[in-house]
Structure 1
Amino acid sequence: MSGSASELARRLGMFAEAACREYLSNGHRFGNYWMVGDVRNTRGRSMHVRLKAVGGKAAGKWVDEQSGEYGDLLDVIEQSCGLVDFREVADEARRFLSMPLPPPQLPPQPLGSHRQPAATRGSPDAARRLFAMSHPIAGTLAERYLAGRGILLSTHERALRFHPGCYYRDLVTGETRTLPALIAAVTSLDGRITGLQRTYLSSGLDPSGKVGKAPVADPRRSLGHLLGNGIWLGQQSGAPVMAAGEGFETMASLRTVMPALPLAAATSANHLAGLIFPPGCRRLYIAADADAAGRHGIERLSQRAGEAGILALVLRPQLGDFNDDLRHLGQAHLAAWLRDQLVPEDARLFLPPG
């Protein structure tokens, strides 16, 4: 049984409508075509997929009349699932076709002459491609998830995107699936994406009626080059005052209360310790959690800030972290709690009056 790209595409074409219902679920059938917005499963009618071979034209071929893109059902799997190399695309195609997976030592093969070269798994290129495949968060599960956590951010935050079917592999069982995900870009100070963090989401509501994290072993995963970089919310350089912390939701909670303060989430304690300071920074607020896990990162970052002539001040929550404070105590209470920890000049500048 051949495992080549052309053979997999041909077999997918034999089940073109079923594949469209699986990977282009926001579309619908119209005659011999499946109509959808684009290859990333956006609602609309610009893209059409041929469901049955006609006049020598193969089933499964598609074209997007608006963008000019075209391809086969392997491209659909790649783009709609947010995959970044051929091995992942082929594995997902075989799963759909109930074909056996190849031995793990088989090398990846090119998708075809009209496709871009595959990005190395876990690389910054892979992160940039996945981010480009994703959508703005407005009106998506990602926006509802954040709102359920009390986090109210502008839909124009450039670091945040949503992917409706992001690839997830169970590291223990090897099982693969696609899940909706909040995508947060990790960038360098010049704004270039070097990595990203995926928060996998449940497609349904939790008992409280909110969108929660997906019921998987590790619903939050990162890829790319993270050390020294961060998930930036707001201005990345030239700001004399900024805040940094370990977790995205911690920093997004502070962003909800202080929307004018530039913030960076380093994604882990070790990465927090190595965060690169933007030029012109004079004062750095470091968001702490109540647990002891991040103390090393805070201490190391404070030391490095002092060596760079930057005043480092630690912000401490009342509960476990600032998202706990935001959800359980409320935005006004959190603002009042922070007011006593900020330099008075910064409190007047970044916090609402009161």
Structure 2
Amino acid sequence: MRHSAATLARLLAERAPTLVRELLPNGRRDGTEWRCGSLAGERGQSLAVHLGGTRSGVWADFSSGERGDALDLVAAVLYAGDRREAMRWATRWLGLDDNPAAPTVRRPPPAARPTETDADAQARRGAARKLWLAGMPVKAGSPVAAYLAGRGVDLAELGRAPGALRFHPDLWNGESRRAWPAMVAAICAPDGAMVAVHRTWLAPLPSGGWGKAPLRDAKMTLGSYAGGCIRLWRGASGKPLAASPAGETVVLAEGIETALSVAVACPERRVLCAVSLANMARVQLPAAIGTVILAADNDSGNPAARRALDTACQWFLSQGRAVRLAMPETEGRDWNDVLQDETI
């Protein structure tokens, strides 16, 4: 029995709290809404999904102007707007046919033509670049170096600070209505252009050193970055990502600290940061990359996170690449936790 788009949208809306955890596992509940940064699923506030009432399943991305119902959300997150594919997925996910719901490969959004580029997106990209230029290279003794050292990442072991990271001494934060020192990371599109920045606001610790600023959201992104990543470490080849040697192995981690922990432990590997678990299933790599190692957090107790990780595995397997999963043995821990244990 085939179901109409309206019926599927209504049934998805009835399960909105479960649906958003499936599609956008890095978001968080804010009253009657589920909030995240964008359709890429990173943490933030721009995208809101209603979780109940007469508007259950209705969503809007206030940065891009995109909006729709629960079925549109499936299409936008998983299938670059293809509602027909979204209907097939929804039918399986809702258990309305006999086929089990399998991990779905998230498709990157199609490249926009210049005449179709959203003006707000261009403004955010410009703001991200301006912010990046206002920063300065990370040096020994800087708050960024001290913050990373407190997380067990000694940049001296790498011989230099990654060029993707910068220090901003006085970066405005909207939540606290004041400026803080911050670590700023460049997020690059597949073609190498910088499209967004990741910000980590910092503050001195009472015990000495530096840590994250006492904010609800001490980490935020500026700009859309679906399919992009932070290029933290080039590994043994020393070549840009676009010039990766044939068959090279790349390590892809979710967060900056985790990725840097891998770089310290395995400096011969090329290491990238996906910024969010949802975007891990969208990162686009050169054809030369033969193997992808996913340096995953151990979120085995979180079914939504596990499904997102499975989606990332399927994404790279579908491209003919070998995929390996590296995960700490203890639930709730990541590779930065492991590194800190070793440096105590």
CA contact (8 A) 1:273 1:296 kept: no
Q: Which whole-Å CA distance do the structure 1 matches of 2:267 and 2:152 have between them? A: 14
Question: Residue 226 of structure 1 aligns with which residue?
Answer: 225
CA RMSD of aligned residues (A): 2.1
TM-score using structure 2 length: 0.57
Aligned residues: 208
Is 1:196 aligned to residue 207 of structure 2? no
Question: Residue 298 of structure 1 aligns with which residue?
Answer: 309
Which residue, 300, 308, 318 being the options, matches 2:329? 318
CA contact (8 A) 1:120 1:126 kept: no
**Cα shift readout 1:216-270 (whole Å, capped 9, x = no counterpart):** 1110001112110011112323141101121111111101111121111111111
Q: Which whole-Å CA distance do the structure 2 matches of 1:241 and 1:120 have between them? A: 32
Runs of 4+ off more than 4 Å = 118-122
Is 1:260 aligned to residue 261 of structure 2? no
Q: Which whole-Å CA distance do the structure 2 matches of 1:176 and 1:161 have between them? A: 22
Q: Which whole-Å CA distance do the structure 1 matches of 2:323 and 2:266 have between them? A: 18
CA contact (8 A) 2:190 2:227 kept: no
AA partner of residue 149 (structure 1) = R
- Structure 1 residues 133, 210: closer, same or farther in 2, change over 3 A? same
Question: Residue 147 of structure 1 aligns with which residue?
Answer: 149
- The SS at the match of 1:215 is coil
Q: Which whole-Å CA distance do the structure 1 matches of 2:120 and 2:181 have between them? A: 21
- Structure 1 residues 284, 120: closer, same or farther in 2, change over 3 A? closer
CA contact (8 A) 1:271 1:297 kept: no
- Structure 1 residues 309, 199: closer, same or farther in 2, change over 3 A? same
Q: Which whole-Å CA distance do the structure 2 matches of 1:133 and 1:254 have between them? A: 28
Question: Residue 162 of structure 1 aligns with which residue?
Answer: 167
- Structure 1 residues 330, 168: closer, same or farther in 2, change over 3 A? same
Q: Which whole-Å CA distance do the structure 1 matches of 2:321 and 2:264 have between them? A: 25
Question: Residue 45 of structure 2 aligns with which residue?
Answer: none
1:95-110 matches, within 5 Å, as none
Q: Which whole-Å CA distance do the structure 1 matches of 2:167 and 2:294 have between them? A: 28
Is 1:249 aligned to residue 254 of structure 2? no
**Cα shift readout 1:145-184 (whole Å, capped 9, x = no counterpart):** 00111112343411000000001001xxxx5100000001
CA contact (8 A) 2:121 2:224 kept: no
- The SS at the match of 1:282 is strand
Q: Which whole-Å CA distance do the structure 2 matches of 1:206 and 1:317 have between them? A: 30
- Structure 1 residues 206, 297: closer, same or farther in 2, change over 3 A? farther
CA contact (8 A) 1:233 1:263 kept: yes
Q: CA deviation at 1:321?
A: 0.4
Is 269-278 or 121-130 further displaced after alignment?
121-130
Q: Which whole-Å CA distance do the structure 2 matches of 1:282 and 1:199 have between them? A: 32
Q: Which whole-Å CA distance do the structure 2 matches of 1:195 and 1:188 have between them? A: 9
Q: CA deviation at 1:212?
A: 0.7
- Structure 1 residues 163, 246: closer, same or farther in 2, change over 3 A? same
AA partner of residue 263 (structure 2) = R
Q: CA deviation at 1:318?
A: 3.4
- Structure 1 residues 167, 274: closer, same or farther in 2, change over 3 A? same
1:162-181 matches, within 5 Å, as 162-170=167-175, 175-181=176-182
**Cα shift readout 1:48-87 (whole Å, capped 9, x = no counterpart):** xxxxxxxxxxxxxxxxxxxxxxxxxxxxxxxxxxxxxxxx
- The SS at the match of 2:136 is coil
Where relative contact order (Cα < 8 A, 6+ residues apart) is larger, the structure is: 2
Which residue, 282, 287, 290 being the options, matches 1:279? 287
Q: CA deviation at 1:285?
A: 0.2
- Structure 1 residues 253, 206: closer, same or farther in 2, change over 3 A? farther
- The SS at the match of 2:214 is coil
AA partner of residue 325 (structure 1) = V
Q: Which whole-Å CA distance do the structure 1 matches of 2:123 and 2:256 have between them? A: 20
Identity of counterpart residues, as a percentage?
A: 31
Q: Which whole-Å CA distance do the structure 2 matches of 1:215 and 1:269 have between them? A: 24
Larger Rg: 1
Question: Residue 183 of structure 1 aligns with which residue?
Answer: 184
Q: Which whole-Å CA distance do the structure 2 matches of 1:187 and 1:217 have between them? A: 26
Q: Which whole-Å CA distance do the structure 2 matches of 1:191 and 1:263 have between them? A: 15
CA contact (8 A) 1:242 1:262 kept: yes
**Cα shift readout 1:17-64 (whole Å, capped 9, x = no counterpart):** xxxxxxxxxxxxxxxxxxxxxxxxxxxxxxxxxxxxxxxxxxxxxxxx
AA partner of residue 307 (structure 1) = S
- The SS at the match of 1:243 is strand
**Which consecutive unaligned segments of at least 5 residues does structure 1 have?**
1-117, 332-354
- The SS at the match of 2:153 is coil
**Which consecutive unaligned segments of at least 5 residues does structure 2 have?**
1-118, 235-240
Q: Which whole-Å CA distance do the structure 1 matches of 2:132 and 2:277 have between them? A: 24
